[in-house]
Amino acid sequence: YTLVHNFPLAYGSFITDSHLERREKVVVLGQGIVQTLFGGQNPIGRDLRLENHIFTVVGIMEEKESNQDDMALIPLTTMQQRIQGTDTLSTISISVEKQEDMNRIQALIETVVRNEHRITNAADQDFSVANQADTVETLNEVTKTFTFLLGGIAAISLVVGGIGVMNIMLVSVTERTREIGIRKAIGAKKRDILQQFLVESMVLSVLGGAIGVFISYLGAWIVTTYAGTRAVIVFNSIVLAFSFSIGIGIFFGILPAWKAAKLKPIDALRYE
């Protein structure tokens, strides 16, 4: 098991042939269970109740930072006789040394199991064989689908947020019409007014991006603390978030800034 699943022991011993032959009630624990039930102390030799049976802890697996840390492994024969009451198997895991042999080994396994089950027609087989490549391909397809979905949601959110920024800046231009007229009357150029409102639009967008990053860190902390899953926010994501914020501020701030820059001083000063 430790070789097939790349799950080495931290200390203690793993399930042995003797344990299997005698159907002994021994258990190997993941680090998560050790932390939860034993407070991180060494539980080797201590007893643990599983399904109304007392098992002795003989080994501890290395930490994997995943749900595998919450696993408890017992001998197969013990599981079959003392808990399941049947000798059937639901899953068999096999590893190959070379990736290029995976498809050939998969076909060989299907043939062997089909013969054991006395199945002559492949369409009637009562089992399935999947290799890691198929699993990775499926996960990639799911990831790609979610990427497009989340990308679409993000694009809609950016457009809606940008329109909000533009509306705020248009209102700001309207409310500050006299101020713009006074600035132009004392020598401010179109370029100066344009730059002023573009900078204000960018600042507004960057503040929104900063709030979003803060909420992301807060969400990651909550997930890590309470869900038992480590959430990590990479620095590149933060840079990307602020870059988009600046871009949104410039793009959606152009119209209000241009409207402010085009105001004639005489018309602006007359505005009430």
pLDDT in tens, the chain (272 residues): 777 777 788 889 999 999 999 999 999 998 888 888 888 788 999 998 888 889 999 999 888 766 677 888 999 899 888 888 777 777 888 888 787 778 888 888 888 888 888 887 777 777 888 777 777 788 889 999 998 998 899 889 889 989 999 999 999 988 888 888 888 888 888 899 999 999 999 999 999 889 988 998 898 888 888 876 777 788 888 888 889 889 999 999 999 999 988 888 777 677 65
Structure tokens at 206: 């960057």
pTM metric for this prediction: 0.55
* Longest CA pairwise span in the chain (Å): 100
pLDDT in tens, 16-38: 999 999 999 999 998 888 888 88
| 121: three-class secondary structure by DSSP | coil
Helices (H), the chain: 17-22, 31-38, 76-78, 102-116, 132-175, 177-185, 190-222, 235-262, 265-270
Residues 6 or more apart in contact with residue 71 via CB below 8 angstroms: 29, 30, 33, 61
The predicted pLDDT at position 177 comes to 87
- CB atoms inside a 10 Å sphere around CB 78: 22
Name the β-bridge partners of 48: 55
The predicted pLDDT at position 227 comes to 74
Helix axes 177-185, 132-175, angle to 10 degrees: 70
Helix axes 132-175, 190-222, angle to 10 degrees: 140
Token match 């994501």: residue? Answer: 237
